[in-house]
Structure formats: structure tokens, C-alpha cells
Amino acid sequence: MTAPHRRPLIAGNWKMNMLLKDSVDLVRKILDGLSSPPAEVIVAPPFTALTVVSELLKDGRVRLAAQDMHWEASGAFTGEVSGPMLKDAGCQAVILGHSERRRYFGDTETTVNKKLRAALAHKLVPIVCIGETLEEREAQRTFRVLETQIKGALAGFAPADLASVVIAYEPVWAIGTGKTATPDQAQEAHLFVRKQVAGLYGDGLAQGMRILYGGSVTPENVDTLMSQPDVDGALVGGASLKAAGFLRIIHFQTPVRN
């Protein structure tokens, strides 16, 4: 079980899904079904739905995240969205360095690091994604990859700067594939990440930092994943698009209500 000083966090990444009407329906259903969840809850709709969803989240029970951002505040960057724009749209958090951004859109350690700096400057809670591919795992390179990604993303900060940072360990082979990491695999990676952060920035920061697991989290597997001591929550893709399933994930380890 998560250490008591780390509040569990369940975040839903909608990716490139949901038109406005679907977004409103989903959020209304989530809000209707919330009953003292054991976790903080975040949803990350596509950019186009942020303002509409923000209007529905005014009571603060669920917080709003974007799925990416640019590091500059404004300027000639066609197609990009900045930190001040996300704040203006009602966001409190932002996902950075998701493996789909790294794979399809060229995000690197350097750009993730710049985005992290910008997110913190604009007081957005950054959810920084890291994780190895299947090839890297099979070549016994998982820890080396995680170390490189952590060092790259977190380079050049003071420990106090990073207090709000959330890390999401998302093995690429588990994202959208239905192949979830076993609870032991998740725990092993999370503990490694926490030790890396401790080595770089001290045990105080590392013990307080929330590390989420992502990769085919479902209502069926969330309870065992969340029973691991270093798993502090989940970043949920596919299963966050249906209210009933997401609500069960949010209320992990609590009996199903009728």
C-alpha cells in the first residue's frame, strides 16, 4: 500500500478521443459516481475539450490536465499550446513525455526537460512519463533506460523545484496492448525510480514523490497494482473512457456499490 504521506492519484488520459458532447457526458457521469474516493482524480481531455470540461469541474473534486504543452509562453509556434493557455483553459496539471509523444512527435529528454521547466514556471503539476520498450526490456536495458529518462527530464533543478512533480512509469509494451506489467514488475521499476530520484535529489523528495503506473490498467487489475508499496496511483488510457470502469479504478480496493 502507498505510504500514507503520498496521496494516491488516478489520472485518465483520453488521448485523441472524445468530441465535446462525449466529454461532457463522461465527466458528468464520473462526477455523479464519485463517493469519497481514496485517490485524487485527474482527467486529461484533448485540448479542444479543456474549457468545456473545466466548466464542469469547478467544485474541485476532479482536476484537469492537458496531454502536452510547449515550453515557450507564446510566439510563432504553429499548432502548439503554451502553459499560460492551459492555465487560461482551467488546467492544473499536464502530462509530459508520454511515449506516444516520444515515438510519433519527436519528444526527447531535452524537450521533456524544457516542458517540465515551463510547467513548473506556470504552476502546472507535471506528470512526467517514462518507460522502456519491449525490445529494451528483453535486452535487460530497462533500468538503464529509466535512469536516462529520469536524469534527462529532471536535469538542472533544485530539489525544492520538483516537489509537485509526479512520475508515471509506463512500460511502452503495456500501453494499449492489454499486457499489464505484473505487480512485481511494477514495484521493481517504481522502487528503482524512487532510488534514482533519491540519488539525484535526496531521500526527502523521493519519499514524497508520487509514482504512477500506466499500461493497460483496468478495474480488474488496479487493486493488486495499488497494493504495491511504491505504486502511488495510475495513469489510465483506454479504461478512462468509460465512466463505470474509470469509477471502479478511482475507487480501487473499495467494495463495489450498487
In whole angstroms, give the CA distance from residue 61 to residue 171: 29
Q: Which of 100, 109, 132, 170 is catalytic?
A: 170
**Which DSSP string do the residues of 193-235 spell out, in sequence order?**
HHHHHHHHH-HHHHHH-EEEEESS--TTTHHHHHTSTT--EEE
Dig out the grid coordinates for 156 from the structure: 538542472
CB of 72 to ligand PEP, least distance (A): 25
Q: Please say if 170 is a catalytic residue.
A: yes
Burial 51-89 (b: 16+ CB within 10 A, else e): ebbbebbeeeebbbbbbbbbbeeeeeeeeebbbebbeeb
Rounded CA Rg of the chain: 17
- Identify which of 8, 80, 92 has the alpha carbon closest to the alpha carbon of residue 44: 92
CB of 178 to ligand PEP, least distance (A): 8
Contact flags string 141-170 toward ligand PEP, x per CB under 6 A: -----------------------------x
Contact flags string 185-214 toward ligand PEP, x per CB under 6 A: -----------------------------x
How many chain residues are in contact with ligand PEP, going by CB under 6 A? 14
Residue nearest to ligand PEP (CB): 237
**175 part of the interface to ligand PEP, by CB under 6 A:** yes
Q: Which of 27, 212, 236, 247 binds ligand PEP (CB under 6 A)?
A: 236
Q: Which of 98, 100, 132, 190 is catalytic?
A: 98
In whole angstroms, give the CA distance from residue 75 to residue 50: 21
> Which is nearer to ligand PEP, 71 or 246 (by Cβ)?
246
User: Which residues sit at the interface with ligand PEP, rule CB under 6 A?
Assistant: 13, 15, 170, 175-176, 214-217, 235-239
Residues designated as active site: 98, 170
